[in-house]
Structure 1
Amino acid sequence: MKFSFFALLFLSLCLSSIEESRAQEKTPDTLRQLPTASVRAYLRTQPYLQLTSSVGLIDKELLNLQQGTTLLPAFNTIPGVRMEERSPGSYRLSIRGSLLRSPFGVRNVKIYLDEVPLTDASGNTYLNSIDPSTLHNITILKGPDGSLFGANSGGVVIMTPNGLQSNPSTTWGIRESAGSYGLFHHHLTGNYVVNNKYNVGLDYAYQRSDGYRENTASHRHFIQTAQRFKYTEKNELRFIGLYSSMAYRTPGGLTEAQYAENPKQARPAAGPNPGATQQQAAIYNNTLLGGLIHDAFLTSHLKHVFSVFGSYTDFKNPFITNFEKRYEHNYGVRSYFSYTGQFHSNFTWQADAGIEWQQSKADILNFDNNGGVQGKEQAGDALKNYQHFYFVRFSGDLAKRLNIEAALSLNYYKYAYKGLFPETNDQYQIVDFKPTWMPRVAASYLITPAISWRASVGRGFSPPTAAEVRSSDKIINTALQPETGWNKETGVRWQSSSNRFQLDISVFSYRMQDAIVRLSNENGEEFFTNAGGVKQRGVEAAVSAWILQPDTHRFINGLRLSSNFTWSHFRFDDYRDNGNNYSGNKLTGVPGETVVSGMHILFPKKFSFYLQHNYTSSIPLNDANTAYAKRYHLVQSKLSWEKSIFGTTRLQLFAGIDNLLNENYSLGNDINAFGGRYYNAAMPRNYYMGLNVQL
């Protein structure tokens, strides 16, 4: 199971010196872009080798190698990052174990579209509203990082939408694909550049699926525009707007016996509760988001960035025991100054200072669910969330060898609530958390021009989200406390001179206090509690290598191998609940080991083949560690062919297989589910094919 990672590591090290000398003798006919040598993180683009933090990059090439209808396999190529799918359209994203408190969606992770937060003031993120084909790249900062991005204890994800990439050109394209279980995906994209000053990107995507299990049909319409107006040489305006309308059925979790008997079935009726199909259990989400960013150099050294943004979500969830409706408004601003300077000729520095402020309001209403139809009132509450933080940061580069960084943010968070029915309150009740400092100190040092060492210490802070304060049990839980903790990390990077070989290893220890865990009652309604301390120790390693650099003079034009390894020794430190002592148990929902490897082969005539293997070890499904999801091997493959037609028009045909080994596994388990209803069966072997035309 670990062979693929360590074999690739050994092979890369052995071949690097040989291939480096050959690379100096001749320049290959490049067919694909080599791995990136720089990453945009911490408000500027920096050399990958000199970054002080653990970073994962998902570029356009990696996105294009995947099926294209989900971000899941691309996210899972990053060590320490795990994305799951309970049913088509229902995703969960975690960084370093934050699945502990994730009923669905995203928790503990802050997500941005450029300078616009996708994560709202309440801490919720509707990542499944985004269509994967409308993104150009994704940068992932792992570990708590509130120095510039506010409250989080898992990490930060920064996504660049189509149209805001560097050096855009005028292009038009259409992509059509279809697959097993009624899968269909349509993507129409355009990018238009006017006089190198104004650029407008426009994307429309539609996706539908019948799903493998009962009650899993889904569909989504998605429209996005990203525009850039460079009105002077050093000043520009950017605009991001999107609208997503999606609906997906939720089949519900199965017991182990039900899962073994018929994994396709939806949750059946149990006791007084009807089944998922009878209740037409589903999610309906309509989200509108917009943001305007002004980026300006006030002087040759001073830069100011200001963004204003807002969103509206209409959310409906017919569930087993109720019909929930949510109407959510969110708005905010983000502003910061960056000043760059230089002492003598060998020390450059940058100082940043700014603020981000958000406020949201949500009306959360619950009714009887009469077979998917709204019934009598049960409970209704109004919630307001307020958060803002100030941040400062200083970074310095000595002789292009030693990078130092110190950052600090002061975070404010509170929420207010009042009853709407059956009891009505005129005044909001306020729960205000004390201001929290989040410092971070880090450094990186170039040991040689190809090898760097880094180390960092930072504090995490993550208050409970609105979905945890007022969860599906319809009770306002004012006892929940924020998660806090200190993360200590060190790592080594190696990058060959031609940038063909990359190795990145991180070792970290995170001590979390007041970890928030998910529990459920006999009706399947979830609620949350603080579990005391959690000790999280881990090792993350990633290696990639162009074993054969792209060259059209061979039958195998190019061969690239990549692999990542994640070891997670996550344990409850001091956790007792209802007389049960779970101290020392494995952290619920987190696999101890994962290995994800990829192979990309380039053939003549623009044929290419991509193969990805994902090994995931067994996963504890409850805090008592008495139930586990079995380990699995997931293999995905894709064959592509490209050809230029009619001059500049490029045609691509592709076909692929998901779950090539026809593995029987559960992806997106319901942790701590009442009655042992943990399992959500993933699709067996399935197929897809399609075409992509670029003008």
Structure 2
Amino acid sequence: MNKSLSVLLLFPIAVAAQQPQPSRLETDTVQLAEVTVRGYETNRSLMETAASINTLNVRDLNQRFGQPTLVPAFNTLPGVRMDERSPGSYRLSIRGSLIRSPFGVRNVKIYWNELPLTDAGGTTYLNALDVRSVGRVEVIKGPSGSLYGAGTGGTVLLGGQSSSTGQQASRAEVGVTMGSYGLAGQTYTIQTGKNNAAISLSYGHLQSGGYRENSRMYRDNLNLNATFAVNPKQTISIIGLYSDLMYQTPGGLTQAQYLANRRQARPATRVSPGSVDQRAAIYQKTGYLGFSHQYRWNDRIENTTVVYGSLTDFANPFITNYEKRADQGIGGRTVTRWQMIEAGVPTKLVFGGEWQNNFTVNRNYGNRAGQPDTLQADDELRATQSVIFAQLEATLPLGIIATAGISRNEVAYQFTRFSVQPVVAQPRGFEPVWLPRVALLKKLGENVSAFASVSTGYSTPTIQEVRPSEGTFNPTLEPERGTNLEAGVRGRLSRFQFDLTAYQFRLRQTIVRRSVESGAEYFINAGATNQKGLEAQVSYQFVVPKPDQFWQTVRLWNSTTLTNYRFRNYQQGDVNVSGNRVTGVPPTVVVTGLDAETKVGLYAHLTHQFIDQFPLDDANTVKSDVARMLNATIGYRKTLANRWTLEAFLSGDNLLDQTYSLGYDLNAFGGRYYNAAPGRNLTGGVKLAVRW
């Protein structure tokens, strides 16, 4: 593939460690054969799932790293990169999908407790979630449109922390976090799970002064998760979320500015003021309410139907303008699982549909030192998405599991500008597309399996791409299309676990970002890419835990990602950059960790990340710096009187005190690529919980 393949020979170990645990107090001895995943509605063990899926559990999300953010946990997964260019500003990439994401989450479909969190316009307010309320993550890598709709990057399934119906204990927890650069936060959680009802309510506050100038943030987050067993056949759930988020945006720096003073915000230029002058920031309030109904017709047929409504109030004083946006979303999804044949050749049929509608009011004003000025544009956008899908899964003789799925996807937009006369609605519809997927898995004994799959990818432009900050409506932007070939092997040999996947994804009509001198962006279809990759996870468990043994967990793990992404038939203005590396995708990423837990409650986690140089522009004339980050966390957890649990931790980030960028602005005008990361910093916290 490329010279980076040699790295795999040096690091043939990669994490099979992101596996769910029934309890945070249990040790990490869960085997691949016991990890049940929900991806592609298989509800099988990971060993029997013919797809590239990684999982994160409560321990990965809320114990291994002290910083209360999703970023470091996601970055332990091969093929996944997450940035936080300033506190609260998430950017997620799965297998190179970052090229069209100057900010936010695009080209990735995300579900929250089975409810669509990504709206009909392709926008996901992932930063509205508090990682401390997330209990489980599944990342499906590559096109998954046969079941989840349009998207070429992947799908993320998020689950909250909640009680189970019938659980006879209630629980309350309070936590305090403090750290460098003004980091401070509190969490309050109460859960009850008695008789036929389970309710979880949590509140979290987080604030930071920020490492850079103009990078302060705060977030208040309220989560509700309630489940009621109406009768043996029916279960109803209510999921609610409210988030009040503010984060300042310091802006990208040129290399000279970055080296001179990496803590400064973007300074003024001859044509535009700086970030501090314009009070550049994001103000985002999000409310989300969803209902889920599960009905079990009999032992072979069950249905889950969800509906949701969402409201987002968004304001962004930017360098060039002041954007105010209001998003209203509604939608639903229904999935029926039918075990058609139980004996002989067990066969399962999954079918259903998803529908979403989004209405956005978007107004741009002049920005006068952080205050809206003269109205520049007054727009309305409507977006509708619909998906119908079906998937057949059969367990054949000789340990073979075959899966075939297909979906029909339809997307339409309507844009109306009221600030220009005459007022004319501009529709933009895309032809319905059928997205198939076929996969085969062969069990090679009890502890090893191999799989292969072929899937198609299709991703329409998001609302933020057809109507970007540059302010024009682009009705000519075409969807991305691609085909993905994938093969993998995973298994367990005694204490050693491994998960290896190779893939090739050919993408056409690639959507990419361009920017003007002021920093405002617009998007175009620029050509095609050929994306080859190899992802590996392995872990080795040094001890087998026993009840009276001091060492309960001692585990070494590693995650390695090797890529060779190249442009094909790719134009950048008048320049053909075919053959160049795809912008923003590192050829080599290696993450290595050591986890240890003891019977007395002491635990420690050590994590090192290596990120190789990668191009920051399509011409490949500018490259990132090599990044080496070391993180360590030590903690103590003790149960008192069988009711109280006390936990304290101390975590250090960037312990090597490296100079690196949190996330680069790709193809940035004027060479403003750099967003400096904090130097060496510490985070500590205490949690106290009680059961009754």
Structure 1 length-normalised TM: 0.94
In structure 2, how many angstroms separate the alpha carbons of the residues matched to 1:3 and 1:600? 26
Structure 2 match to 1:479: 476
In structure 2, how many angstroms separate the alpha carbons of the residues matched to 1:133 and 1:143? 27
In structure 1, how many angstroms separate the alpha carbons of the residues matched to 2:469 and 2:627? 31
In structure 2, how many angstroms separate the alpha carbons of the residues matched to 1:181 and 1:284? 21
Q: CA deviation at 1:694?
A: 1.8
Counterpart secondary structure, 1:99: helix
Which of 430, 449, 452 is the equivalent residue of 1:452?
Answer: 449
Q: 1:508 is matched by which residue type in structure 2?
A: Y
Q: Does structure 1 conserve the Cα–Cα contact (< 8 Å) formed by 2:560 and 2:588? A: yes
Q: Does structure 1 residue 56 correspond to structure 2 residue 54? A: yes
Counterpart secondary structure, 1:238: strand
Q: Does structure 2 conserve the Cα–Cα contact (< 8 Å) formed by 1:30 and 1:550? A: no
In structure 1, how many angstroms separate the alpha carbons of the residues matched to 2:28 and 2:224? 27
Greater shift, 297-306 or 237-246, is seen at 297-306
Q: Does structure 1 residue 668 correspond to structure 2 residue 663? A: yes
Q: Does structure 2 conserve the Cα–Cα contact (< 8 Å) formed by 1:228 and 1:238? A: yes
Q: CA deviation at 1:693?
A: 1.2
1:217-616 alignment to 2 at 5 Å? 217-342=216-341, 345-399=343-397, 401-421=399-419, 423-496=420-493, 500-551=495-546, 556-603=551-598, 605-616=600-611
What is the RMSD of the two structures over their aligned residues, measured on CA atoms?
2.0
Structure 2 match to 1:191: 191
Q: CA deviation at 1:320?
A: 0.4
Q: CA deviation at 1:516?
A: 0.4
Q: 1:181 is matched by which residue type in structure 2?
A: Y
Counterpart secondary structure, 2:72: helix
1:159-174 alignment to 2 at 5 Å? 159-163=158-162, 170-174=170-174
In structure 1, how many angstroms separate the alpha carbons of the residues matched to 2:306 and 2:236? 10
Structure 1 12/39 Cα, relative in aligned 2: closer, same or farther at 3 Å? closer
Q: 1:547 is matched by which residue type in structure 2?
A: F
Structure 2 match to 1:115: 114
Deviations 1:465-509 (A, max 9, x none): 001111110010111100010000000011246xx5321000000
In structure 2, how many angstroms separate the alpha carbons of the residues matched to 1:582 and 1:9? 33
In structure 2, how many angstroms separate the alpha carbons of the residues matched to 1:51 and 1:425? 55
In structure 2, how many angstroms separate the alpha carbons of the residues matched to 1:47 and 1:67? 30
Deviations 1:69-94 (A, max 9, x none): 10111101111011011111111011
Counterpart secondary structure, 2:431: strand
In structure 2, how many angstroms separate the alpha carbons of the residues matched to 1:267 and 1:46? 50
Deviations 1:530-574 (A, max 9, x none): 111110000000012212233465664431111110011111101
Structure 2 match to 1:181: 181
Q: Does structure 1 conserve the Cα–Cα contact (< 8 Å) formed by 2:14 and 2:499? A: no
Q: 2:239 is matched by which residue type in structure 1?
A: I
Q: Does structure 2 conserve the Cα–Cα contact (< 8 Å) formed by 1:588 and 1:621? A: yes
Q: Does structure 2 conserve the Cα–Cα contact (< 8 Å) formed by 1:346 and 1:400? A: no
Counterpart secondary structure, 1:331: strand
Q: Does structure 2 conserve the Cα–Cα contact (< 8 Å) formed by 1:203 and 1:225? A: yes
In structure 1, how many angstroms separate the alpha carbons of the residues matched to 2:5 and 2:175? 36
Q: 1:458 is matched by which residue type in structure 2?
A: S
In structure 1, how many angstroms separate the alpha carbons of the residues matched to 2:437 and 2:564? 23
Q: Does structure 2 conserve the Cα–Cα contact (< 8 Å) formed by 1:560 and 1:599? A: yes
Structure 2 match to 1:26: none
Q: Does structure 2 conserve the Cα–Cα contact (< 8 Å) formed by 1:4 and 1:563? A: no
Deviations 1:411-457 (A, max 9, x none): 00110001021x14544211111011110000100012111110000
In structure 1, how many angstroms separate the alpha carbons of the residues matched to 2:353 and 2:678? 45
In structure 2, how many angstroms separate the alpha carbons of the residues matched to 1:84 and 1:165? 34
Q: Does structure 2 conserve the Cα–Cα contact (< 8 Å) formed by 1:606 and 1:642? A: yes
Deviations 1:352-411 (A, max 9, x none): 111100010111111011110111111121111011011011001125821100000010
Q: Does structure 1 conserve the Cα–Cα contact (< 8 Å) formed by 2:13 and 2:498? A: no
Q: CA deviation at 1:689?
A: 0.8
Counterpart secondary structure, 2:652: strand
- Deviating 4+ runs (over 6 angstroms): 1-5, 10-13, 164-167
Gapped regions of structure 2 (runs ≥ 5): 17-24
In structure 2, how many angstroms separate the alpha carbons of the residues matched to 1:6 and 1:117? 40
Counterpart secondary structure, 1:100: helix
In structure 2, how many angstroms separate the alpha carbons of the residues matched to 1:249 and 1:350? 49
Q: Does structure 2 conserve the Cα–Cα contact (< 8 Å) formed by 1:386 and 1:414? A: yes
Q: Does structure 2 conserve the Cα–Cα contact (< 8 Å) formed by 1:334 and 1:357? A: yes
Q: Does structure 1 residue 653 correspond to structure 2 residue 651? A: no
Greater shift, 94-103 or 183-192, is seen at 183-192
Greater shift, 277-286 or 297-306, is seen at 297-306
In structure 1, how many angstroms separate the alpha carbons of the residues matched to 2:171 and 2:50? 36
Greater shift, 607-616 or 645-654, is seen at 645-654
Structure 1 41/377 Cα, relative in aligned 2: closer, same or farther at 3 Å? same
Q: Does structure 2 conserve the Cα–Cα contact (< 8 Å) formed by 1:362 and 1:383? A: yes
Greater shift, 36-45 or 111-120, is seen at 36-45
In structure 2, how many angstroms separate the alpha carbons of the residues matched to 1:164 and 1:30? 17
In structure 1, how many angstroms separate the alpha carbons of the residues matched to 2:398 and 2:176? 47
In structure 1, how many angstroms separate the alpha carbons of the residues matched to 2:166 and 2:139? 22
Gapped regions of structure 1 (runs ≥ 5): 14-28
In structure 2, how many angstroms separate the alpha carbons of the residues matched to 1:424 and 1:513? 37
Q: 1:188 is matched by which residue type in structure 2?
A: Y
Counterpart secondary structure, 1:181: coil
Structure 2 match to 1:153: 152
Q: CA deviation at 1:7?
A: 6.2
Q: 1:34 is matched by which residue type in structure 2?
A: V
Which of 25, 30, 33 is the equivalent residue of 1:34?
Answer: 30
Q: Does structure 2 conserve the Cα–Cα contact (< 8 Å) formed by 1:621 and 1:672? A: yes
Structure 2 match to 1:25: none
Q: Does structure 1 conserve the Cα–Cα contact (< 8 Å) formed by 2:5 and 2:562? A: no
In structure 1, how many angstroms separate the alpha carbons of the residues matched to 2:8 and 2:180? 31
Q: 2:193 is matched by which residue type in structure 1?
A: V
In structure 1, how many angstroms separate the alpha carbons of the residues matched to 2:394 and 2:446? 18
Q: CA deviation at 1:286?
A: 0.3
1:619-638 alignment to 2 at 5 Å? 619-638=614-633
Identity between Structure 1 and Structure 2 (%): 38
Q: CA deviation at 1:34?
A: 2.9
Q: 1:483 is matched by which residue type in structure 2?
A: E
Q: Does structure 2 conserve the Cα–Cα contact (< 8 Å) formed by 1:2 and 1:595? A: no
Structure 1 235/404 Cα, relative in aligned 2: closer, same or farther at 3 Å? same
Q: Does structure 2 conserve the Cα–Cα contact (< 8 Å) formed by 1:418 and 1:425? A: no
Counterpart secondary structure, 1:620: coil
Structure 2 length-normalised TM: 0.94
Q: CA deviation at 1:605?
A: 2.5
Counterpart secondary structure, 1:211: coil
Deviations 1:661-686 (A, max 9, x none): 00100121111110000000011100
Deviations 1:564-598 (A, max 9, x none): 10011111101113211111111111111101111
1:195-210 alignment to 2 at 5 Å? 195=195, 197-210=196-209
